Amino acid sequence: MTDFRDVQAEQRFEQGFTDPDGQLRTVFADYAVQGGTRVILHVEADPALRGTGAAGQFMQAMAEHARAEKLKLAPRCSYAVAWLKRHPDFDDVTA
């Protein structure tokens, strides 16, 4: 796993994970900026990572990043909406 990063120039959060075959793959979320809120437009895991829990780990890292940076997350992507609903411990970062 690589560190979670905010690639602001691309308006994208991303994190690398090792797939079951040992290859480094990426999970990312494209976002739009609205002041201190990041509107999560799309979350995608490389197909090789699906079913490994990488997307959930990424979502947790994104929520922790938002908390640390005092940002709000406004999910528009169905996966992000569902994940945040299942994790009320991150209600403080949900817009």
Domain ranges of the chain: 5-93
pLDDT in tens, the chain (95 residues): 789 999 999 999 999 999 989 999 999 999 999 999 999 999 999 999 988 999 999 999 999 999 999 999 999 999 999 999 999 999 999 99
What is the rounded CA–CA span in Å between residue 26 and residue 45? 6
CA distances from 34 to 4, 26, 61, 71, 94 (A): 21, 25, 20, 10, 14
Q: Given 3.40.50.1100, 2.60.40.10, 3.40.50.300, 3.40.630.30, which CATH number is that of 5-93?
A: 3.40.630.30
Tell me, rounded to whole angstroms, the distance of Cα 26 from its chain centroid.
11
| pTM to 2 decimal places | 0.93
